[in-house]
Structure 1
Amino acid sequence: MIETTPVERVGLVEPDTFLRQYKAVAQPVILEELTREWPARERWTPDYFREVAGDAVVPLYDSRPARDNEHQHAASLHMPLAEYLDLLEGGERDLRLFFFNLFAARPTLARDFEFPDIGLRLFRKLPVLFMGGKDARVQMHFDIDRPDILLCHFGGPKRVLLVAPEYTPYMYHVPFSFSALAAVDFEDPDYQRHPALRHVRGHLAELHHGDVLYIPPGFWHYVLYDDIGFSMALRAFPRDLPNVARMLSNLLVTRTIEGTMRKLVGQSWNDRNERRAVERTEHFLARHPAA
């Protein structure tokens, strides 16, 4: 893996302390006690989700890059949640539930948690779920709306590799996307093929049942499921002008250009952007060899 330091773990923390020591300085942290009184701590298992929402049809994503005219965030297939959970327990490692508001389909699930008083103005209409099986991976990416994220994890352990936005020039960022080049391996980096990774320093969060990971705005993240797990993301949208401007640019400009060009040009647009990801990174590295 690229060079990392472990994310700090803390117990109970007051809102003013969280804002001062972590949010204000964009420092990731694992909050061990934030969910201690949530029913989700006891309830959220595969069997519980089968019982409460097993018939809900959910979108699933795999690791295959979008090709030709496909939308870069298009689901691979849809199926009832119960069938998906059966696949996970049978060893499925590629299909993932990603950024899905299951609470809209099953409002009773909202009784299993509460929005924590941690100092963030959390957006209450969009708690989203993520699920994956043992050895599943989520490509390195960042969130286009630049939120503060509380990633509340349940089930088996998983790891999250975080990289601060200051390292973006070294990340082989694919133009008009919010992801790193799929061929770049952050777990077992090939420094001959992708030498810029030598300059990247990350944070590694090891999450266990009930942990909450704070992800500051703009941080890249790569997810490794070590067993079947469920995570819920609570988000606070940006209020400072720089992050609001980046959010609007991402949503209104970058995403529009990407979608339009993919429809008009197809695979040659994808190929062009993948080449540019390497070219731009190598150009930056040549100008900043000792950074």
Structure 2
Amino acid sequence: MKERLELAEIPREKKISKKDFLERYVKPQKPVVIEQLIEDWPAYTKWNLEYIREVAGDKTVPLFDGKKTISSKYKFNEPHLHMKMSEYIDLIQKGPTSYRIFLYHLLREVPGLQKDFSFPKIGLRILKQIPMLFFGGENSKVFMHYDIDYANILHFHFHGRKRCILFPPSETKYLYKVPHALITREDIDFMNPDFDQFPALRKAKGMVTELRHGETLYMPEGYWHQMTYLTPGFSMSLRAAPRNIENLSKALYNLFFMRHFDNAMRRWKGQKWIDYKNEQAVKRTNKRAETF
């Protein structure tokens, strides 16, 4: 039998009180899936791909191709293509595609969607200005990464199924993190990793779950996450600022220095900079892993 990563199931709660959520998950910084957090939202019954086509089909949306991210041609989080939302929904309904919509503020473009949800009173100080939507077709993947702002994230899934793999920050030393970036090596298949090429992954301990329509995943500060759309679908994320002062300082560093430094190096060195970072990810991780 082929060797696989050590992935435990993310805990699940049907429903949970604010007190229990804070004590059992937010304070100890542990992820959880809440199955029945948003059943009172209009979005719970209304939001599917056909509804999005109806209310936002004429909007032009930015698309990201997972196959093109290892390239110096694009800046950090720069779209690879633009398309009408109705055309994109047609695309993902036809079959597998690598194109995704990533960090799109559709709620700003279509204000009426804001009437379909409310902010959960669950103990997090949610930043109400930036609800973001994410779309993907069958087999499209979001590379393993952690968020630039170290936010506490509530990730609500709609329409279809999505597999989510998480690693706590403590496992960073085994994940082949790319220097001056928020990602791991993008050629790692976390469901079927090549342990000969990436031996440190044997020591990494992560978690996995499969989200279905209406379920909510809580991801704590700085958690690594990789998403795979098992069917066409979309999700929305709400964010709360980091509670940990150290994580807040890391977020400020990422926002005001790291991403600008990386974009400048991409412009200056081109593909050589990308290749150098990927090489260093392997060298540094394998060297560190030998000491643990």
* 5+ long unaligned stretches in structure 2: none
| Partner of residue 48, structure 1 | 51
| Partner of residue 27, structure 2 | 24
| Partner of residue 40, structure 2 | 37
Rounded Cα–Cα distance in structure 2 between residues aligned with 1:151 and 1:37: 16
| Partner of residue 249, structure 1 | 253
One-letter amino acid of the counterpart of residue 9, structure 1: R
> Among 7, 11, 14, which residue is 1:8 paired with?
11
Q: Using the TM superposition, name which of 25-34 and 59-68 deviates more.
A: 59-68
> 2:141 touches 2:226 (CA, 8 Å); kept in 1?
yes
> 1:65 touches 1:72 (CA, 8 Å); kept in 2?
no
Rounded Cα–Cα distance in structure 2 between residues aligned with 1:185 and 1:47: 32
| Partner of residue 60, structure 1 | 63
> 1:66 touches 1:72 (CA, 8 Å); kept in 2?
no
Q: What are the Cα deviations for residues 112-161 of structure 1, in whole angstroms up to 9, with x where unaligned?
A: 11100000000000000001111111110110100000000111011100
> 1:156 touches 1:208 (CA, 8 Å); kept in 2?
yes
| Partner of residue 100, structure 1 | 104
> 2:158 touches 2:233 (CA, 8 Å); kept in 1?
yes
Q: Report the 3-state secondary structure (helix = DSSP H, G, I; strand = E; otherwise coil) of the residue aligned with 2:290.
A: helix
* 5+ long unaligned stretches in structure 1: none
| Partner of residue 145, structure 1 | 149
Rounded Cα–Cα distance in structure 2 between residues aligned with 1:28 and 1:124: 21
The number of residues matched between the two structures is 288
> Among 176, 179, 183, which residue is 1:179 paired with?
183
Matched ranges for 1:1-291 at <5 A: 1-63=4-66, 64-288=68-292
Rounded Cα–Cα distance in structure 1 between residues aligned with 2:87 and 2:96: 11
One-letter amino acid of the counterpart of residue 235, structure 1: R
Rounded Cα–Cα distance in structure 1 between residues aligned with 2:21 and 2:167: 20
Rounded Cα–Cα distance in structure 2 between residues aligned with 1:68 and 1:201: 31
- Give TM-score scaled by structure 1 length: 0.97
Q: Report the 3-state secondary structure (helix = DSSP H, G, I; strand = E; otherwise coil) of the residue aligned with 1:61.
A: strand
One-letter amino acid of the counterpart of residue 265, structure 2: M
Q: Using the TM superposition, name which of 68-77 and 31-40 deviates more.
A: 68-77
Q: Using the TM superposition, name which of 62-71 and 23-32 deviates more.
A: 62-71
- Give TM-score scaled by structure 2 length: 0.96
Rounded Cα–Cα distance in structure 1 between residues aligned with 2:249 and 2:275: 28
